[in-house]
Structure 1
Amino acid sequence: MTLSKNGEIALAVLLVLLIVLPALMLGLIYGEAPYHMVPGEPVREAADAAGISIASVKGTLWNMTGALGGKTYVLTDPAGDTATVATQAFDSADSRDAAVRLYNAHAPGKGRAVGSLIVVGQYLIYATPANSPIFAKLAPALQQAAKAAGAQS
């Protein structure tokens, strides 16, 4: 019975390591994005730079602590692809990062919609569908906007 108990303990330790170690690695690799004010409309500017058309824009306010408001864009590209991209500005890094943690706390289809989330300064930018060719073109321009604004602050 002692050998079996030691085997159970070793298995439990192994399982804990398999769960905790990847989470720690992701935390080290993907540190929190710096909070800084990004001027203008990053999605509109990125869409213009990538040659993507804006079909419609409407104001939105997410029901989250610290949310200040944003916009929802319906985008189309010359190939006929369509994507929805929503932005939301937050009043602090803490409230923005809490929204990211809440998003990551749910598995896709179980409380979390299937999409891609990117942080640009004070904004969270959410695109659906996640594998959209439009978002693939938009993401590099959004990342450039985040880097440029971060370098100025």
Structure 2
Amino acid sequence: MSGSITLEHGLMVFLVVMFLIPCGIIILVSQEAAYFPVSGEPVVDAANLTGITITSVKATHWNLTGSSGGKTYVLADTNGNTLTLSTQTFESAEARDAAIRLYNSHPVGRGKPVSSLHIVGQQLVYANPANSPILEKIVPVLKEKARAVPTGT
């Protein structure tokens, strides 16, 4: 049966197409997070805008190449919910992106709690727990700050 398409060939083409379509969509839809200097403290700004109370702040430094320090905040709302946010500033986009790849390489339950990581310019914001009602209020403000890329960069 040379010259005719067999069921096996059709199945193979179907599987290749079904693999390539999602990959293509991911490539087209995803965009690289911009690396730019962030002025001020995005977490403090977001907390002030959303009416969340900052109960504690301390300096922190992640032991990662290219990290230059940050802060850990404990936030609370009027309903008694708490959230810990840790920020870290990175010296380059490559160092920041390496930290993101490291975070994504560890599955939940294998030394990694249920948490989330957010990008704000040259900073990473690590939130624990990821299902906190406070996070639902803070993240939109942080994302807005992340979209506010300064002109000329």
Alpha-carbon shift at residue 29 of structure 1 (Å): 2.3
**SS at structure 2 position matched to 1:80:** coil
CA distance in 2, matches of 1:52, 1:29: 33
- Structure 2 vs 1, CA of residues 60 and 146 (structure 1 numbering), >3 Å: closer, same or farther? same
Which stretches in structure 2 are left out of the alignment for 5+ residues? 1-7
| Counterpart residue number, 1:3 | none
CA distances 1:34-82 after superposition (whole Å, capped 9, x unpaired): 0000101000110010000001001110011100000000000111100
CA distance in 1, matches of 2:28, 2:58: 37
- In the TM superposition, what is the alpha-carbon distance from 1:24 to its structure 2 partner? 5.3
In structure 1, distance between residues paired with 2:48 and 2:115: 22
> TM-score, normalized by length of structure 2?
0.83
- Paired AA for residue 83 in structure 2: A
Amino acid in the other structure paired with 1:57: V
Partner of 1:75: 75
- Deviation track 1:85-117 (CA, whole Å, cap 9, x = no partner) reads 000000000100111111112211124331111
Q: What is the letter of the counterpart of residue 141 of structure 1?
A: V
More moved, 21-30 vs 79-88: 21-30
Q: Which has more helix, going by share of residues?
A: 1
CA positional deviation for 1:26: 3.4
| Greater gyration radius | 2
Q: Which residue is equivalent to 1:132?
A: 132
Q: Which residue of 1 aligns with 2:52?
A: 52
Q: 1:66 to 1:41 in 2, by over 3 A?
A: same
Counting aligned pairs with the same residue, the percent is 50
What's the RMSD between the two structures over aligned residues?
A: 2.3
Query: If the length of structure 1 is used for normalisation, what is the TM-score?
Result: 0.83
What is the CA–CA distance in structure 1 between the aligned matches of 2:107 and 2:98, rounded to whole Å?
Answer: 16
Residue-pair matches, total = 144
Distance 1:117 1:23, change over 3 A: farther
